[in-house]
Structure 1
Amino acid sequence: MKIHAYEAITLAAKTRGGSSASAVRTALSALLTLSVAACASVPSSPVPDLQHQAQALQTRRLDDPGLVAAEARLHLPTSADVTWTPDRVTVAAWYFDPTLAQARDTAQRAEADAALAAQRANPTLQLSPEKAISGLDVASPWTIGASLLLPLLHPGESAARRDIAAAHTEQARDRAALAVWRSRARAVTALREVLLARRAQALAQTVAIAQASYLDGVRRRVAAGASSRDAELAAELAAQGAAADLA
């Protein structure tokens, strides 16, 4: 179990009169100033607005000005009517994918934590009432005790914390890079599935047209007595199956 050593600096002043009260306030102000000086802190993140995020998802467009600007910087076509190539789909995925923003935020947070680990640990200010029994006739026996706790780390502990924070930062950066490539893989896979689905739809439509034409020919042959009713039924079933594939 790791034990931290603390050096306690205790100040006490008796609240007898105006000068004593002023001394107490001065001492407390000095301690408070000392406690917040050189303190390491990380700014808090704003609370996400879920309703705003939902509206942003609903209003996404492929002609978004930000996306158009990103495509222009990469010398890609910027019109939504132009054929969507894997590169254009990748840029759109990187622009809209929320996991990339999360990965970038995580990497930035890790960098902030690394900067925090490199700074001095925060001191702790403690205030507590104390009762002084001196035998003197005073207005109030109560005083205010102030303690400033300064954390003292073990030798090498500060360097170890910095190394751990640096490792976490590198890990967050690697995860951000991995998120970028995973986003591209998902985008290209989705594009391939869309293209294959469109191709399959076109082939199914061609088959349905061919089966309908074949059925008309069989019916004419049946009417002319050149084919049997069984051939017509088989052609009807094939035409119905081809039409069902279009649904």
Structure 2
Amino acid sequence: MKLPFATILILPILPILLSCCVAFQSRPISADKTSADFNTRTLADPALHSFLAEQKAGTGTWSVNRLALAAAYFHPDVVLARAEADEVAATIKTAQMRPNPVFTFSPQYASFRAPAPTPWFFGPSLSIPIETAGKRSKRTEQALAAAEAARWRVSSRAWAARSRLRTAMLELHGARENIRLLETEQTLHDEAIKKLTAQMDAGDVSPFELTQARLMLNRTRLALQDAQRTAATGEARLAAAVGVPLHAIKAVTLDFSAFHRLADPGNSRRRALTQRADLMALLAEYAASESALKLELAKQYPDINVSPGYDYNSGQNRWQLGLNLALPLNRNRGPIAQAEAKRVTAEKKFLAQQATIQGELDIALAAYQASRAKATTAAQLAQEADAASDTTRKMVDAGNVSALELTRRQLEASAAKVALMAANIEAQTAAGALEDAMQATLKP
């Protein structure tokens, strides 16, 4: 059986077209399954530890920096940013693709009065687009810059996750330390009240002094309850900041040693103004806008379509070669103007963010320096209170003062330690704000 001429032309093309197709793969989402998967997350996850090994995070207890890497791995904000970056990166492949040629086949049938070789007219043709002025390379350049901006946004989201985690961890550390100090202070208040009660019964002190001591005890109890409440919710806040269930945090040992020292800010200004991830993202977006402008300028030069064809008519074989291109009468002025305006906008966004960082950095530096000075003063006062307590103890042993006086000095030393802890937490909070302004950690 002789195949029709049209079938002969189309058959060689079909396998090529079918082999290039990408099959759809279904990926259904179940709310029950995703919830169950979240509840099984732990910080012992092998994939997490592979990630930590790649980042050279070491092993052992979970410090701020190590938990920050876990947050970069688990937290949904960072996971979403990575997915968005992958989506933008996929446009690079699209930008690099050459335009497909177009095959056209339009057979016609005619009824002849006189005998003819065939009543069919065959006119297959192929249109081959040729891009000019380097449009594909400029389009690829724009896609690469956009992908770089998306990667920087992942880093910015990861830093935001670290900032939330550090705040939650500092809050938990402060609550636990306050509980320890306030429990000691409460014990001292109880001792003071017992001694004051005995002296009041002996007529040595007035009821007013005992009442004041009880008021101080009540204030300490309330402060202790506040600290216990903060500690109770602190682990949950920390788990949410990492992106894991609460039991995952309860199962590990937390390392709060980073909060026991205050680092020097060093060259924080230069790092903040030249290396912040959000700033680098805006710089990459500006590069993408420049590439977009180059592309629109290249579009002033029209692409060419080469169209070789064949025609079979009344027994005659005829070959054609067509050439067509758009006449660039408007010179692409509108899109060029838009691209220029977008480049100006991208530049102003970068400059505005840099100016904002300047202000954030000035405020953070001033607050950090003041908080460090306050913490230094609080440390000196705590040392003086401890020294006074030791001196009073010696005087009690020598029989020069009463035991009640020693308890009072111990209460003063305890209050000084609570104030020192509050000053240190305030300084560490200011250090966190400075790190956020730099989007970099302070070096000890």
User: Secondary structure at the residue paired with 1:60?
Assistant: coil
Counterpart of 1:61 in 2: which secondary structure? coil
Is the 1:35–1:123 contact (alpha carbons within 8 Å) kept by the matching residues of 2?
no
Offset of residue 95 of structure 1: 2.8
1:112–1:181 CA distance, 2 compared to 1 (3 A)? same
**What displacement does 1:111 show?**
2.4
Return the offset for 1:99: 2.7
Report Cα offsets for 1:144-197 as digits up to 9, x if no partner.
xx9998777675543332222122112112222333333333333332222222
RMSD: 4.1
Q: Deviations over 1:79-135 (max 9, x none)?
A: xxx4x32232223223322333323333332222101211123568999xx997859
User: Given the two structures, how large is their TM-score scaled by the length of structure 1?
Assistant: 0.64
Shift of 1:210: 2.0
Q: Which residue of 2 aligns with 1:14?
A: none
Please report how far the alpha carbon of residue 25 of structure 1 lies from its aligned counterpart in structure 2 after TM superposition: 6.0
Alignment of 1:8-27 (within 5 A): none
Q: Decide which of 201, 214, 221 is 1:236's aligned counterpart.
A: 214
State whether structure 2 residue 158 is matched by structure 1 residue 180. Answer: yes
Q: Distance in 1 between matches of 2:92 and 2:38?
A: 33
| Structure 1 portions without partners, runs of 5+ | 1-17, 137-145
Q: Is the deviation greater in 163-172 or in 23-32?
A: 23-32
Q: Is the CA contact 1:42–1:112 (under 8 Å) kept in the aligned structure 2? A: no
Distance 1:117 1:222, change over 3 A: same
Q: Match for residue 91 of structure 2?
A: 113
Q: What is the CA-CA distance between 1:235 and the residue it aligns to?
A: 1.9
* Equivalent of residue 168 in structure 1, options 122, 132, 146: 146
Q: Please state if 1:209 is matched with 2:187.
A: yes
| Structure 1 residue aligned with 2:289 | none
- Cα 1:188–1:200 change in 2 (3 A) is same
Residues 125-144 of structure 1: matches in 2 within 5 Å? none
Structure-2 change in CA distance of 1:167 and 1:194 (3 Å)? same
Q: Please say which of residues 148-157 and 224-233 is displaced more in the overlay.
A: 148-157
Asked whether the equivalents of residues 38 and 120 of structure 1 are also in contact (C-alpha less than 8 Å), the reply is no
Q: Does 1:61 align with 2:61?
A: no
Is the 8 Å Cα contact of residues 121 and 151 (structure 1) preserved in structure 2? Answer: yes
Q: For residue 224 of structure 1, what is the aligned residue in structure 2?
A: 202
Specify whether residues 72 and 173 from structure 1 end up closer, same or farther in structure 2 by C-alpha distance, changes over 3 A only: closer
Question: For this pair of structures, how many residues does the alignment match?
Answer: 215
Q: Are residues 147 and 176 of structure 1, via their aligned partners in 2, closer, same or farther at CA, if it must alter by over 3 Å?
A: farther
- Once the two structures are superposed, residues 43-90 of structure 1 have per-residue CA deviations (whole angstroms, 9 ceiling, x without a partner) of 889454443332233233233333445556636234xxx4x3223222
Within the candidate set 46, 65, 72, 1:94 is matched to 72
Partner of 1:76: 58
